[in-house]
Structure 1
Amino acid sequence: MELKELQTRVDSWIKEYGVRYFNELTNMAILTEEVGELARVMARKYGEQSFKAGEKENLADEMADVLWVLTCLANQTGVDLTEAMESNFAKKTNRDRKRHKNNPKIQEH
């Protein structure tokens, strides 16, 4: 699925099932909550914490939740995620073209 299709499908879903978007500040709070849920799974799967009884290793679902709410915010604020990502790639390439390759801290040993 392309980003443009994602934005269109989320918008259609909201209009059909969600009635309307939550306001931008509410969605920002929800995004923060979803990122926290993703962090919890990451801490248990890759960090030193263990899963509690009944907790699931639902990494993909938590990432999708983050992407969903971020897409809602993009739709609400008029951000074209395809254009934003293309611009972001250009920015990072210009800024970091040699930076990471020359960083001894991340070189393979």
Structure 2
Amino acid sequence: MSKEVTMQQMQKQVDDYIGQFKEGYFPPFELLARLTEELGELSREVQNVYGMKKKKPTEAAKSLEEEFGDFLFVLICFANAENINMAEALQRVLHKFETRDKDRWTRKEEN
């Protein structure tokens, strides 16, 4: 699965998948709860890999990639349910950072 896809393609893939089901997207508060749940699972995996608290021997093995994928899926569901173009949203926030915070951080030296 090394196929690179754009954000628009990811949003369409998720929309096509969810579109198969009568229930469709969950309501906003349910999506937010699911997103929070997935963030907690991702946080737990980061803690297991990099933190002091390691997994119990009885806990199932998962990866950061798997947990990140779960989080991303729900995030895309939320964006789709709210008709948010994630690529446009990212471009807007990058523009904001490039203007508002342009002198906030120490730039690397150019070679």
Q: TM-score, normalised by structure 1?
A: 0.86
| Partner residue in 2 for 1:11 | 15
* Structure 1 unpaired stretches of 5+: 103-109
Cα distance change on mapping 1:98 and 1:18 into 2, 3 Å: farther
Which one is further off, 12-21 or 71-80?
12-21
Aligned-partner SS, 1:29 = helix
Q: Does 1:86 align with 2:85?
A: no
Q: For each residue in 1:50-95, what CA deviation from the matched residue of structure 2 results, as whole angstroms up to 9, or x when unmatched?
A: 1111332410011111111111111111110010000011111112
TM-aligned CA deviation for residue 17 of structure 1: 4.9
SS in 2 for 1:16: coil
Alignment of 1:96-107 (within 5 A): 96-101=101-106
Higher percent of residues as helix: 1
Instruction: Give the share of equivalent positions with the same residue, in percent.
Output: 32
The alpha-carbon deviation at position 19 of structure 1 amounts to 4.2
Unaligned runs of 5+ in 2: none
Q: RMSD between aligned alpha carbons?
A: 1.5
2:43 aligned with 1:39, yes or no?
yes
Tell me the number of residue pairs that the alignment of Structure 1 and Structure 2 aligns.
102
